Amino acid sequence: MATDIPDIVIGRLPIYLRELTRLAEEGKQKTTSSHELGHRLGISSAQIRKDLSHFGEFGKQGTGYHIGYLTEQLSDILRLSSEWDVAVVGAGFLGHALAHYNGFLDRGFRIACIFDNDPQKVGEKMGELIVQPDTDLEKIIKHKQIKVAILAIPPHVAQPMTDRLVNAGVKALLSYAPIHLTVPEGVQVSYSDPVIQLQRMTYYL
Amino acid sequence: MATDIPDIVIGRLPIYLRELTRLAEEGKQKTTSSHELGHRLGISSAQIRKDLSHFGEFGKQGTGYHIGYLTEQLSDILRLSSEWDVAVVGAGFLGHALAHYNGFLDRGFRIACIFDNDPQKVGEKMGELIVQPDTDLEKIIKHKQIKVAILAIPPHVAQPMTDRLVNAGVKALLSYAPIHLTVPEGVQVSYSDPVIQLQRMTYYL
DNA sequence: CACCTTTCGTGTAAGATTTCACAATGATAG
DNA sequence: CTATCATTGTGAAATCTTACACGAAAGGTG
């Protein structure tokens, strides 16, 4: 009930968590079922039950899952009980969008700082934050013990910046730069490239 | 060699294409091998060969793959030989970022129009474009025969907007709204929710 | 209480995906 | 021309993932 849980299962937990939160917001009910959850997400009920069964027995026969309880459990499993400070690197349009996005706070993350190497942008106010010079990056990340960063910079500087971040202690990286990044063992990387996603769909058109 | 190709294989083709383009830009060589490509992408060479073999025999024993030729073939397979017009819905910070992103054009897509329902934003200049009122959405999408759209709007309006887009003829949708969308058969949907991606990584920290 | 309905958790079967490993082919060098 | 090396394409094996189907619980009803 601990190690050896497939990545693909972990990958679905945040989806379940998000939908549970929506259900709670709708507030019409205290419990849900694998069938209802699956129907809303386009996933089979069996898969949801099997996924959850990796971590314990959260449901009750005949009733289903208590929404509040399952939400708590999933949050714990995903280490979201306390907030993660996040560093955003790059204060361009995308950095702007990230800094102003208010969807992080409720879901376990807080943008703690934003960096840029352009002296024109340094000092600029962005949401609650002020753009910091990238020369202070290591100092601030180490001081705040930041483990999570988002890359919103051009591709040709993404790998060196990744190296700097990892060196400063970052362990999880979400990159919007359209290149594959190389990181040491134990560092997590996730990518978001809208063009890749669009290209995956055009095949079927 | 035609139908019945696994989605997961299609999903990797854009990654190969992107890396081939990078190789071409580096310009040091005319050919590459499954081994080199795999090494650069963290994918096994066998997988790359098997993936490509679904579509034909693009390589040459002893030599590998001609970069230019393989790039062309993949572009064709993914229907990227001519550009797709894309509608962006939502002219907030994210819509801004998308409208100004210049990584689309080289890779098969052109932002053709951007919509918002806020009268204050309508008429605003954004990159090359002017924000259109969402009331004109159906008219413009039908007229330009737009098949691809990007959703950059709040979650509570995402499903109704999806319905409108699909109704107007959109067949592929990239959504930044943090909810699951329901669409008819034959319409492609892809999601991008940074929080989901971050939550997938925190489990491992 | 007896019966019916709902829904979970799970062993097993089915299906999908990846890896292995090798014959075949082409290039290169002496 | 022959030997050597690199690399592909692919059948078969191994591994991973999903779907099926059912016993067992829990709640509701009369």
* Domain layout of chain A by residue ranges: 7-77, 84-197
For chain B, the average pLDDT equals 96
Q: Please write the tens of the pLDDT for every residue from B152-201.
A: 999 999 999 999 999 999 999 999 999 999 999 999 999 999 999 999 99
pLDDT number for residue A127: 85
Structure tokens at A34: 């694998």
State mean pLDDT over A76-92. 98
Give the whole-angstrom CA distance, residue A180 versus residue A73.
Answer: 33
Going by pLDDT thresholds of 50, 70 and 90, the confidence category of residue A28 is confident
Q: Does pLDDT of A177 surpass 50?
A: yes
Taking the CA atoms of A194, A198, A199 and A201 in sequence, report the sign of the dihedral they define: positive
Task: Tell me whether domains B7-77 and B84-197 share a fold.
Answer: no
What CATH superfamily classification does A84-197 receive?
Answer: NAD(P)-binding Rossmann-like Domain (3.40.50.720)
Residue type, A33: S
Point out the residue nearest to C17 (C-alpha to C1'): B8
Q: Does pLDDT of B3 surpass 90?
A: no
Q: Does pLDDT of A2 surpass 70?
A: no
Proximity of residue B27 CB to strand C below 7 A? no
Contact B176, A52 (CB under 8 A): no
pLDDT number for residue A154: 98
Strands B109-116 and B129-133: parallel
State mean pLDDT over B110-138. 96
Structure tokens at B90: 């939502």
State mean pLDDT over B52-73. 97
Going by pLDDT thresholds of 50, 70 and 90, the confidence category of residue A1 is very low
So what CATH class is B7-77?
Answer: mainly alpha
Question: Do B180 and A94 lie within an 8 Å CB cutoff?
Answer: no
Torsion of CA B75, A162, B199, B159, to 10 degrees: -40
- Which candidate, A130, A86, A88, A128, places its Cα nearest to that of A108? A86
- What b/e string do you get for A74-108 counting C-beta neighbours within 10 Å, with b at 16 or more? bbebbebeeebbbbbbbbbbbbbbbbebeebeebb
Structure tokens at A186: 């134990």
Q: Does pLDDT of A102 surpass 90?
A: yes
Going by pLDDT thresholds of 50, 70 and 90, the confidence category of residue B127 is confident
Mark which residues 66-125 of B lie under 8 Å from A by CB.
Answer: 77-80, 84, 86, 92-94, 96-98, 100-101, 103-104, 107-109
Read off the DSSP letter of residue B155.
G
pLDDT number for residue B76: 98
Neighbours of B26 (CB within 10 A): 9
Proximity of residue A38 CB to strand C below 7 A? no
